[in-house]
Homo-oligomer: A and B are copies of this chain.
């Protein structure tokens, strides 16, 4: 399978562009030159921009079933609401993985990191369903089952030093489930990787973290976890460890060059060297950090310390979309008001590099992906620059990052395979997907008259308000 993209704009140096022909063969970019002999499938690249694919570096696909649903609440109470409205059928997990893949691909992402919430008691089926969705969509997927061995309530600080109890039997069962998932699904050569992804220090024992480290070492897996998303988690870490959560992850050996850490909002200056020294990656989720009121992550400090930073959409119940271009735009402008020194501000070029090379670097693929060069694997996205949202013609990257592009992904390739063609999904019947999503859901239009049961919220809110000093 040979494809030649003709006369397309690619980035050149710090601020320029070049017009080139790009040849894809099998999984690879095999040639780039001002003009190449026309071979294979020819794609007209005029008035188009070719970029390496982005990584949607943190999401929870099954939250798609709850998007638009949960009121503005801080993470700890939002989680209680999430808990009360989660999907219950593996078929739903399959459909939301498919939907997450489609939305990611149609907004420039070619890789998704799914910190996968599963149906309790049906974890193996849930993982199988999500993997099936990603294989079908043809997106590169890192599936990290969202595992924990402590209860939801344990994730809240209580105002004093304490050691949450864990049942070792639960920990062992979770790790056994992970072993089965790895054996059944880990297949990086074909674009599906399992990662070890404990939910976070707020809901996981050290035994679970250590079991995950052992599994990831033995099977060469990436690691992923939530880290200090909220002030409450920062407080909880001090209650549990007596020192910072970051230092704790460093001590137990969880950090590293293939470890990516979602959020990192509440790190102190003293925590940052732990990330830099271990070459860990920060995944910035600007939309959910705002929607949940978590805070604004100190991105400039991470970048100045040499920490690799990339972007995620986060789950669709806390964003509530899977639009990578939106995450990149907000993720790169959100920090300007935090520093008058505008020379530190993230440029559109920086943002593109963070979203592409930054993303794959955190997944151990920085040598194979994230750039347009001969020999690299073809995870590529071709943007149509003639949409009204990208006119008049000025700086293509400026328009793409700082504008609000409307369905401008013209073609996309993952591992050299076409997944989007002529602005449409080549792998997924989107009309059928929409029909299925619609069939499995109903408008929540009577909530005033017959409110949803909110057991978890009502149980947890008094403690939250007390410990956070509200009222």
- Identify the A interface with B (CB < 8 A): 9, 12-17, 64-74, 77, 99, 102-103, 231, 287, 289-296, 316, 319-321, 323, 326, 330, 333-334, 336-337, 339-342, 345-348, 385-400, 402-404, 406-407, 430, 433-434, 437-438, 440-449, 468-470
Contacts A399-B67, A447-B16; A437 near B291 (Cβ below 8 A) = no
Q: Closest B-chain residue to A325, C-beta based?
A: B404
| Most central of A330, A333, A390 by chain B CB within 10 Å | A333
Residues of B within 8 A of A326 (CB): 326, 404
Residues of B within 8 A of A337 (CB): 289-290, 293-296
Q: Is the CB of B398 within 8 A of A434?
A: no
Q: Is the CB of A394 within 8 A of B470?
A: no
Nearest Cβ in chain B — how far from A151, in angstroms?
23
Nearest Cβ in chain B — how far from A167, in angstroms?
33
Besides the contacts A68-B397, A231-B340, A393-B441, what 9 more A-B pairs have beta carbons closer than 8 Å?
A9-B443, A16-B446, A72-B347, A293-B336, A294-B337, A320-B399, A320-B402, A392-B437, A407-B407
Nearest Cβ in chain B — how far from A431, in angstroms?
9
Contacts A16-B449, A394-B66, A398-B68; A388 near B336 (Cβ below 8 A) = no
Q: Is the CB of B342 within 8 A of A15?
A: no
Partner of A388, one of B68, B72, B433: B433
Residues of B within 8 A of A102 (CB): 388
Q: Is the CB of B287 within 8 A of A16?
A: no
Nearest Cβ in chain B — how far from A105, in angstroms?
12
Residues of B within 8 A of A333 (CB): 72, 287, 290-291
Nearest Cβ in chain B — how far from A282, in angstroms?
17
Nearest Cβ in chain B — how far from A56, in angstroms?
13
Nearest Cβ in chain B — how far from A415, in angstroms?
24
Partner of A389, one of B321, B341, B391, B440: B321
Nearest Cβ in chain B — how far from A86, in angstroms?
13
Q: Is the CB of B68 within 8 A of A403?
A: yes
Contacts A323-B404, A340-B293; A437 near B15 (Cβ below 8 A) = no
Contacts A293-B345, A333-B290; A437 near B391 (Cβ below 8 A) = yes
Residues of B within 8 A of A468 (CB): 340
Q: How far is the CA of A326 from the CA of B287 in the complex (A)?
A: 12
Q: Is the CB of A386 within 8 A of B67?
A: no
Q: Is the CB of A99 within 8 A of B391?
A: yes
Q: How far is the CA of A282 from the CA of B295 in the complex (A)?
A: 24
Q: Is the CB of B71 within 8 A of A443?
A: no
Residues of B within 8 A of A445 (CB): 9, 16-17, 395-396
Residues of B within 8 A of A15 (CB): 447-448
Partner of A444, one of B287, B395, B447: B395
Q: How far is the CA of A12 from the CA of B292 in the complex (A)?
A: 26
| Most central of A73, A407, A445 by chain B CB within 10 Å | A445
Q: Is the CB of A342 within 8 A of B77?
A: yes
Nearest Cβ in chain B — how far from A109, in angstroms?
13
Q: Closest B-chain residue to A471, C-beta based?
A: B341
Residues of B within 8 A of A66 (CB): 394
Q: Is the CB of A72 within 8 A of B442?
A: no
Contacts A287-B333, A468-B340, A470-B341; A392 near B296 (Cβ below 8 A) = no
Q: Is the CB of B398 within 8 A of A320?
A: yes
Residues of B within 8 A of A397 (CB): 68
Contacts A392-B65, A443-B396; A321 near B403 (Cβ below 8 A) = yes
Q: Is the CB of A339 within 8 A of B293?
A: yes
Residues of B within 8 A of A295 (CB): 337
Contacts A440-B392, A443-B396; A72 near B231 (Cβ below 8 A) = no
Contacts A66-B394, A77-B342, A337-B294; A407 near B406 (Cβ below 8 A) = yes
Partner of A347, one of B17, B71, B292, B396: B71
Q: Is the CB of A398 within 8 A of B290?
A: no
Partner of A342, one of B69, B73, B323: B73
Q: Is the CB of B16 within 8 A of A394?
A: no
Residues of B within 8 A of A433 (CB): 388
Q: How far is the CA of A332 from the CA of B297 in the complex (A)?
A: 19
Q: List 7 A-B contacts (CB under 8 A).
A: A15-B447, A65-B394, A72-B347, A103-B388, A231-B340, A290-B337, A396-B443
